[in-house]
Amino acid sequence: MISNKKKAVIHVAKAQVGMTDDEYRDLLASVGAASSKDLTTQSFVALMTRFEKMGFKTTSARRRKPKGLPRGKAATMQKIEAIILDIGLSWAYVDGIARKRFGVDAVQWLEYEDLRKVLQMMVIHQKRRVKNA
């Protein structure tokens, strides 16, 4: 089950692309959900990817660095951000990695060692994308 904040993002995306209720229900069914309450993290990411293909753009393109973040961690976050911008992914994708791999809701809350592991995963993902393109 996804958070209420993510449900709100879905409804903003629906309005932004000008989708009717029937079209919205069909889109939800294509990811295996009858309503936004039925969405899992994976189906949410799939749904948001489809909204982005339809023209949805988030209003906050960059995640702000929290105050007091250690320099090494801030630099690592910037590297991750550069990679996701390069290959056209969103922070939701990286947060999904943090959630699945480390049990943390957002990548910014990871310890430095785990954050480095996420960076390594993203570098490998980026190389695969370039190799296949």
In the three-class reduction of DSSP (H, G, I as helix; E, B as strand; rest coil), residue 67 is classed as coil
Q: pLDDT digit string (tens) for 68-81?
A: 556 678 889 999 99
Of the chain, the percentage scoring pLDDT greater than 90 comes to 35
In the three-class reduction of DSSP (H, G, I as helix; E, B as strand; rest coil), residue 72 is classed as helix
Q: Is the pLDDT of residue 66 over 60?
A: no
Rounded to whole angstroms, how far apart are CA atoms 70 and 84?
A: 21
| Token pair 């959630």: residue | 99
pTM: 0.49
Q: Is the pLDDT of residue 133 over 80?
A: no
Distances in whole angstroms, Cα of residue 9 to Cα of each of 3, 48, 78, 98: 10, 9, 24, 20
